[in-house]
């Protein structure tokens, strides 16, 4: 299978590495937006900026320049850009005959006439490339561990059976299990909201509030995630799977989580711009949180933890004030 991965960040590189080492002998091309970055990877045989110390296999081809040229005769195209760049990339790929899957997790920031409350990735695709056979590859996965061939389980979600089957054939291997799922709405909501909840968990842990607080936050966060997903048309059981509970637990508790790290730093009182500058990578939860909250408000869905995270990110509440506001909420029945 000829696979092209568009985007040479940490996750795009890890996915390309996994496919290139697949027992089926896939022909894999990793495309970088930056020509100097592609040249550096070619010379050093590693992506030193995003995955230092991980060797790129000789079979992995590197490309830059025109993305459509790199996708010529591809059997599968993987879009590994951040959420903010997805619309532009799908617009370029709208005539593709090959299946397309994205890796980004989030809601597109609301802007212009696209949507008053922001869109999930499949909704963006429906606007700009409705004829594409498309889907998402998601689930609990740190790029570094995938690049090291450590055991990982992912979800291939699409309304098209052929897309799900292609993703399974491309990535299911001795180190990566890929489960198919028709519920693309639920898989995308889980991937988006868990980043926001990971910031909240980082704040709780950074304030040293204890394991009871962490468990409560993750559990009630899962309830928020499920409420929003069901309101958008997802199946409730999806959120008990890899792209819901699995991804939430990983991102909220794992030391490699960028979003959790943002929360840890916010708890110290460090300004958000400084945190993001020092992070050096995209933390999708920071950009997704306001849009998740806007979408929830438009649907009449209660998401108090998300609301508190947005207030902290916008500087309207300090971390301690946000926790206090959550704890003072009126008593209610669970469920």
Catalytic residue positions, numbered: 194
Reference 49, options 10, 12, 103; nearest CA is 10
CA 60 – CA 43 distance, rounded (Å): 13
User: Is the backbone of residue 144 left (phi > 0), alpha (psi -120 to 50) or beta?
Assistant: alpha
With contact defined as beta carbons under 8 Å apart, do 159 and 126 qualify? Answer: no
CA 9 – CA 47 distance, rounded (Å): 8
* Phi, psi angles (nearest 5°) of residue 308: -65, -40
CA of 132: how far to CAs of 78, 127, 188, 249, 309, in Å?
13, 11, 17, 32, 35
With contact defined as beta carbons under 8 Å apart, do 319 and 265 qualify? Answer: no
The residue with tokens 């990566």 is 176
Strand pairing partners for 55? 46
Dihedral sign (CA 223, 226, 248, 201): negative
Q: Kindly report the length of the chain.
A: 335
């Amino acid at each position: 299978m000829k696979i092209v991965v568009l985007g040479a960040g940490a996750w795009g590189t890890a996915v390309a590495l996994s496919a290139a080492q697949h027992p089926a002998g896939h022909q894999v091309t990793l495309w970088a937006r930056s020509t100097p970055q592609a040249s550096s990877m070619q010379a050093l045989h590693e992506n030193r900026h995003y995955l230092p110390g991980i060797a790129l296999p000789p079979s992995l081809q590197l490309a830059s320049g025109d993305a459509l040229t790199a996708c010529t005769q591809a059997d599968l195209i993987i879009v590994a850009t951040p959420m903010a760049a997805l619309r532009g990339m799908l617009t370029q790929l709208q005539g593709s005959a090959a299946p397309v899957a994205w890796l980004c997790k989030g809601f597109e920031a609301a802007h212009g006439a696209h949507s008053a409350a922001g869109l999930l990735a499949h909704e963006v695709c429906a606007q700009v490339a409705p004829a594409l056979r498309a889907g998402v590859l998601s689930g609990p996965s740190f790029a570094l561990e995938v690049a090291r061939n450590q055991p990982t389980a992912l979800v291939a979600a699409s309304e098209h059976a052929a897309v799900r089957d292609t993703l399974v054939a491309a990535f299911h291997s001795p180190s990566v299990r890929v489960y198919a799922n028709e519920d693309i709405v639920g898989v995308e909501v889980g991937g988006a909201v868990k980043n926001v909840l990971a910031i909240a968990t980082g704040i709780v842990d950074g304030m040293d509030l204890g394991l009871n607080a962490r468990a409560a936050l993750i559990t009630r966060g899962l309830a928020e995630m499920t409420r929003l997903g069901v309101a958008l048309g997802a199946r409730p059981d999806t959120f008990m799977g890899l792209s819901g509970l699995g991804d939430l637990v990983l991102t909220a508790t794992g030391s490699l989580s960028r979003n959790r790290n943002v929360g840890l730093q916010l708890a110290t009182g460090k300004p958000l711009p400084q945190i993001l500058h020092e992070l050096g990578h995209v933390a999708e939860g920071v950009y997704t949180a306001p849009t998740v909250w806007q979408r929830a408000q438009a649907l009449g869905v209660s998401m108090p933890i998300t609301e508190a995270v947005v207030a902290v990110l916008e500087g309207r509440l300090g971390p301690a004030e946000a926790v206090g506001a959550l704890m003072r909420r009126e008593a209610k029945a669970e469920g």
